[in-house]
Amino acid sequence: MSDEQFNHGEADEQTRPRLKIEDNLPIRTVGIETQRERNNYSDLPPQNYLHVWWARRPTPASRLGILASVLPDSVDDDTLLRWMGIDPDNKSPEKSISDHVRQKRKTKEDRDGFVYEHYGYRKSYKNLPEGDEKEKLHETVRETWDGELPTILDATAGGGSIPFESVRYEFPTIANELNPVASVILKAVLEHPRVDGDLSDDIRRWGEKINEQARSELDEYFPSTSDEKPLEYLWAHTATCPDCGLEVPLSPNWWLDKDSGSEGVAARLNTTSDSDQVEFEIVELPTDVEKSEYNPTDGTVSRGSGTCPRCGVAIEGDEIKEQAQTDGLGYQLYAIHYEDLSKNGGRHFRAPRKDDMQGFEKAKIAVKNDPELANLLNIEIPNGEETERTGRYGIDEWRDMYSPRQLLVHYTYWQAFEEAKSEIIEEYAEPVAYAIMTYLSFAADKGIDYNNRMSSWDSTRPKVRNTFDRHDFSFKWSFAESRLTAEGLGYDWVLDNTVGAYEDLHELSGESDAPIDVLQEDAADLSLDSEEVQAIVLDPPYYDNVMYSELSDFFYLWLKKYLGDMYPSFFQQELTDKHNEAVANQSKFKDVASEDTSKRELAKQDYEDKMTDIFEEMYRVLDKDGVFTLMFTHKKTEAWDTLTKALINAGFSVRSTHPISTESRLSLHQAGKNAAESTILLSSEKRDTTDERPTLWDDVKRETRRAARDRAKELDEHESEFSKVDMVLASFGPTLRVFTENYPVVDEEGNEITPKVALDEARDAVTGYLNDKYLNTGIEDVDPRTEWYIHAWLMFEAQRFPYDEARRHAINVGVDLDDLKRSHRLWRKRSGDVVLRPSEDRVQNINKKPEDRSSRKPVDPEALSFTTALDKVHAALHVYDKQGATEAWNWMNQRNCGSDPEFKATLEALLRVLPHDHDDWEIAQNLAAGDTGDMLDLDLDADIFRDEDDENEDKQGKITDDYTSD
């Protein structure tokens, strides 16, 4: 190919000023504010409490995405932060807001008074510019956008965090969602709070009327006495022991109110040879029984398999599933949580009584004898990525999600709502009536979320967990039944929650007169004119993170009953739209996958095609001077590659990227994993596609590596609190900018280079930078298997991380990931993730005779030579741990460890990368000291042995200083 074939045409010049999002942003300050918003789960923005939705974006990140996309780069950081609601009243005049916020975060634990007093402002979501400041903001935006306030579009709006902030800033806003459940949420978040007047008293009045009606019909199914009021009923699913015939209640533990590992209240199982039914008693540890005699942590089911408490026979997981799929699992009541109405008062637990089951059996008969109830929700649950796990345990129809009494309760509340509906429509104008009924339906949904066979008991609080404490349909061996009719709890509680959320939404956005359109359409086919919007701020579906439609079917069926006649266009289908949903759902391709094309590949291609269609539609509706800002949180390179290909194919060019720390480390769907803690704001613009000629990969590759390394160096040297995996994510932005500006990219033979290749180069460049900065010399000369292990600890800063990333890392160093597991046992698999093994899992016990040692462990500690440097170091650690320093010195002397550069380099690298609470780090520290240390003569600096708990020092594996723009 000739050189001129690789020249690119110049894009048309923008007529608007350069935008703030193309400049440096105060990302560290926004990250601190984001964590501050997320730290207290009782003080989140109100939309978080209104109705379940998955993966809502935090306010600071949403505001930064919106404001930075419409403000010019002439706006300084302090002004931007003030307009974002980060405006401390106790800041020293000489300090910037960023300096103030960072300093206040460092001293937060030493404060006197409330957190907001310490920072000098309440959480940013509670603040908006007012008066002259609001006018100045709007004037600045108008000057940037030819005299008009730009229209903001979120085409995949989900729970509404982005458009809610757009409305609050009074920008013309369009919010679209394919999913009907999300569309109703958008109505309740964006439109209904701005209906004239405060509707809180009206919502409460009608909710109380519904509750009173339902309570009068349901109380007979919940027997109580003058001395006690049942609040929750705790059930365990049951399976029949194939050996002795006992109906075995299946629960992972029997704690009811757990104070510690040996103190608290628990249910105790009692079995006899005369009955195939387990009986329960309530015991208090250690008053009634010592833990050594009865340990409630020892449940009857673990890892899917059960144990019979009478005969001790194991009930295999396949046996339980077969029983579930044949006859359905039973369930047994094992405890009641009640309120004592006597003079003693308080809340307590008791064992079930005969009248408890009589009430339940009465409800079963009522459901069976009522034709409508007998067929309620008898709709098959589609076999999907998330829902397939319910089918394994006999939950095949949506009605199976509920016990008969739960089904009766929710049906009765719906009937009471239906009776009230005609009166509400008659009393109010349509917008007000629709608002009231929408919020009442959300109260019912909240009750459903906390009262079904997937809602479990949290003994540490104690309280009921909702169904979606995680982003899936994980089967619950034991479940909690809430008594919705209980005064002060149940429906009273969900109604209070709903009214409170409405009140806050009304207070925060009720004064806005911004035009708002809520659409329920496919984001790839919007009913908008071409070039109608000036800014798109989009939080797209993240590849395979959340199967929104599968999960939302749980609510869709009930909302359809409540609101189907109010929003008929939302509820036309039996279930939510799975076909047009832009997620990588492998279950859709089970029947068409083949040896040549896996369901994973088909799902990836489907997601890419759908995202391309969506991005092409964004290209169509976006003004020629417009900006397209994506929020993206995903650490899988595969997901980035897919999204980038879609973005490029649609005609966009990446302009800038900004990583913001947003994800809570406490989130259950991330717990125990090396989850990405950053949202990347990825800004792009329309590129000129009329004269695109290929660019050689060799040229782009050099620029790609330089851009990625420079970004990592910038974040490192400017004191950013980013984990190293987030630094890799941050490097993807400059990489994508280089790639899209030179698109299409080809090798010397003319073959297309994909974004994945460029992202792999970025990772390799950042890895090289971090190795140079944080590892010792000599480590670059160790064998590839040892290199993979050391680099895994360095890069991922966790023992567990995604398989896909581990595989790519293995490719980078030239080893086979599965061989590292199979032959070398460097890692084990857990729920699709890689878990790095310590020396204990790899080295045979030297204190045992050779014939008694585990053949599964590949490292022989008595060998004189080893396949890898890591094997030799792990063996040395094992000898020191099992036989002490003297034997370790002899062992190392026999194997010339003191003159082995790879052994010494590997030991030092482990000291640098392992967490200080890791057993291997503690042994390695001892090995590097004393007589064995004298033999090795490692040149170690004191920082390697610093105390990780010292608040004045950096924690291992983190770059903990702060970064903001100049």
How confident is residue 953, by pLDDT bands cut at 50, 70 and 90? very low
CB 594 within 8 A of CB 502: no
For residues 618 and 627, what is the distance between their CA atoms, to the nearest angstrom?
10
**Per-residue tokens: 645:** 């290909």
Is the Cα dihedral 234, 237, 240, 242 positive or negative?
A: negative
Cα–Cα separations (whole angstroms), residue 726 to 63, 643, 732, 938, 957: 21, 18, 10, 31, 12
Determine which of 148-157, 714-723, 865-874 has the lowest per-residue pLDDT on average: 714-723
Q: What percent of the chain has pLDDT over 70?
A: 93
Residue 4 predicted with pLDDT over 80: no
- At position 894, the amino acid (one-letter code) is Q
Q: What is the pLDDT of residue 673?
A: 53
* pLDDT, tens digit (0-9, with 9 covering 90-100), for 584-623: 899 888 888 888 889 989 998 998 899 999 999 999 999 9
- Across the chain, mean pLDDT equals 90
User: Are the beta carbons of 265 and 250 closer than 8 angstroms?
Assistant: no
Residue 668 confidence (pLDDT): 42
Burial (Cβ within 10 Å: 0-12, 13-18, ≥19) of residue 109: exposed
Q: What pLDDT, on the 0 to 100 scale, is given for residue 946? A: 62
For 184-231, write each residue's pLDDT tens digit: 999 999 999 999 899 999 999 999 999 999 999 999 999 998 899 999
Q: What is the pLDDT of residue 913?
A: 93
Contact 185, 441 (CB under 8 A): no
Residue with tokens 């918003």: 37
So what's the pLDDT on residue 721? 61
With 60 as the cut, is the pLDDT of residue 676 above it? no
| H or E element at residue 620 | helix 599-621
Q: How far apart are CA 69 and CA 65, in angstroms?
A: 6
Per-residue pLDDT, 458: 96
Of 721 and 675, more confident: 721
Beta-carbon contacts of residue 657 (< 8 Å; ≥ 6 apart): 680, 681, 682, 683, 730, 732, 733, 734, 736, 737
In the predicted model, is pLDDT for residue 404 greater than 60?
A: yes
pLDDT number for residue 636: 67
Min mean pLDDT across 515-524, 760-769, 819-828 is at 760-769
- For residue 942, the model assigns a pLDDT of 65
